[in-house]
Structure 1
Amino acid sequence: MRDFVIRNPKDEDAEQIESMDFVLKMLYLYHGDLDKRNMFCAVSGDGEVLAVAHLMEHDTFHAVGHDEDTSFKRYLNYEIIFAENAEDEGIKAALIEALIGRAREIKAGYQEKRIIMAQYLDTDHLEELSFCLARGFTIYDTIVVFKFDLSREIPEYPLPEGVLVKPTALNNSEAQEQYRQAELASFDGVAWSLNHLGWMQGSPEIVNFCAFYGDQLIGNTSTWRITDERSATENVFVIPEWQKNGVARNIICTALDYLKKQGKPIATLGTHGDNKKAIRLYTQIGYELCGSRFTVGYEID
């Protein structure tokens, strides 16, 4: 195993971080939610950055309305990225220990909250799953992933009278706050932070299809590029008073139609495995199961 030290990143590491992952560099430089104390580099004796790990507050971390629920899970998501030909189990273990140590420092400021450090792993990543489970991690959730073959005919669903669906640029604070309030209402107090919402507007090929009743934003589906072969249809929500009126079906199909016209072959989305309502909606529209992921986490004491 190579000699290395674990430390927080320095500005002079940015170029090496970019060579590993451009998005990671942009995250380090510009994401308003990233506390630099939550990022760690494994650095060799000659200054080479071998790997980078970081924690990010998940949507659940500052969820509204759950302060009295001591069982509510608030996630700190983590990611570890290695430089080319540098992957090493000893380095990975050291970075995880650094992340757990930092998560404990964060937990000290939120003693009343249940905090879990987690990542998402495809269910067939058995080696990585075994690595985590052997270190005290466990499986907290299963996410089912669905795909829609865009060569198929896309169904059409009518909208309630007075409702309009249109592409919406969330490029100012007023639009972003309106979006966030609708998301909070739809997801039981769980929503992207304003920093993350603004950050996501820079994602490749992102389009937000928002439903409005007058000036009120009542629902959304967002699309963005995942790979050349796949685009997302995610962040599907409708505020409670407008649910069961066909709004979600129309927004999703509007997004699918847009992606089809852009020449995209596949659209995907994910939902929690116990979300019967969402699974029924997606399968009725024509999405098909294409895989699943685990939320693998370590509870911070």
Structure 2
Amino acid sequence: MNIKVRPEVSNQEEVFQLLYGALYERALVLAQELPKTHSVQLCVGNHQAEQENSALFEKCGFTPMYRQYEMEKELNRVQETPELHLPELQFIQTALESSEEEQRYLRTESTIWPENPLGLHRLRRLKGSTDFTSFAALDPDSQLVASVMVCQEDDKTGSIEEVFVVPAWRKKGIATHFIRYGLQYLQKKGYAAARLSVLTKNEKALELYQSLGFTISGEEHRYGKELVKVESLSRG
């Protein structure tokens, strides 16, 4: 969620608090409908310069969660992707159309980010994006070991999403390979640029994206407020 009050409004904080109260009550209702397996947080993201807006959320009990860089790359000079020789793996392009593919993706993805798994609802929101596709690698047992998603961000810009490689297959160039495929795909779809987000403390990922020509275009600060704790959920 987020709340933006126009700067010319004289009683900005009063308007903010009225809107926040309504949204908070709605969030409490929605929280009760979520699976009772995780804590529930209400989250907001602001650009680094929006300090006054962030301060209003902090007054409401929000605390810093993490920061991330917004990165961008122009697609006027995208090189062809060289072959990657890993005969043990099967490389595929898929829109994750079947429920079996969705579940296979979610099983693997939840091991990469166990504290914040994507979940089926958010996955299907991504799948509903214009020009959505993914590039994936499967091991000999047909288990997912790496994935990169791409889709539209706006009319002129594509987005690189949910980049991961399972630990056993890292440092083999798979993420680089798939991101290059994603950039080629977006260029062929007519996008002028590609964007992605990366945690500011993820130095390895930041180095990878910079090596592929991405540059930092902004910084976003995320804040969260716990609505429901796992303990209270487990007690019913």
CA apart distance, 1:287: 1.4
The answer to whether the aligner puts 1:93 opposite 2:17 as a matched pair is: yes
165, 169, 184: which one pairs with 2:91? 165
Instruction: Give the drift of 1:247.
Output: 0.9
**1:17-166 correspondence to structure 2 within 5 Å:** 78-80=1-3, 90-101=14-25, 106=31, 116-154=41-79, 156=81, 158-166=84-92
- Secondary structure of 2:216's counterpart equals strand
Whether contact under 8 Å (1:160, 1:247) holds in the other structure is: no
Match of 1:296 in 2: 223
Structure 1: runs of 5+ lacking an equivalent: 1-77
| Aligned pairs (5 A) from 1:129-278 | 129-154=54-79, 156=81, 158-188=84-114, 190-214=116-140, 215-278=142-205
Give the TM-score taking structure 2 as reference length.
0.79
Q: Once the 2 structures are TM-superposed, how far is the Cα of residue 253 of structure 1 from its aligned partner?
A: 0.7
Q: Deviations over 1:163-192 (max 9, x none)?
A: 333320212211100111121222246422
User: How does 1:272-287 map onto structure 2 within 5 Å?
Assistant: 272-287=199-214
Displacement of 1:117: 2.1
Q: 1:112 to 1:217 in 2, by over 3 A?
A: closer
Identity %: 25
Q: Structure 1 stretch 247-256 or stretch 290-299: which is displaced more?
A: 290-299
Q: Partner residue of 2:232? A: none
TM-score, scaled to structure 1:
0.63
Say if 1:113 and 1:182 are closer, same or farther in 2 by CA, change over 3 A.
Answer: closer
Distance in 1 (alpha carbons) for counterparts of 2:178 and 2:37:
38
**Other-structure match for 1:31:** none
**Equivalent-residue separation in structure 2 for 1:110 and 1:254 (angstroms):** 35
**Distance in 2 separating the partners of 1:258 and 1:140:** 33
**What CA distance in whole angstroms lies between the structure 2 residues aligned with 1:113 and 1:174?**
24
Instruction: After TM superposition, give the deviation of residue 198 of structure 1 in Å.
Output: 2.4
Give distance in 2, aligned partners of 1:235 and 1:183: 9
Query: Which amino acid is the alignment partner of residue 73 of structure 2?
Result: F
Please give the root-mean-square deviation of Cα atoms over the aligned residues, in Å. 3.2
Distance of 1:189 and 1:213 partners within structure 2: 25
Give the superposition deviation at 1:115: 5.1
**Which structure is higher in RCO with an 8 Å CA cutoff and minimum separation 6?**
2
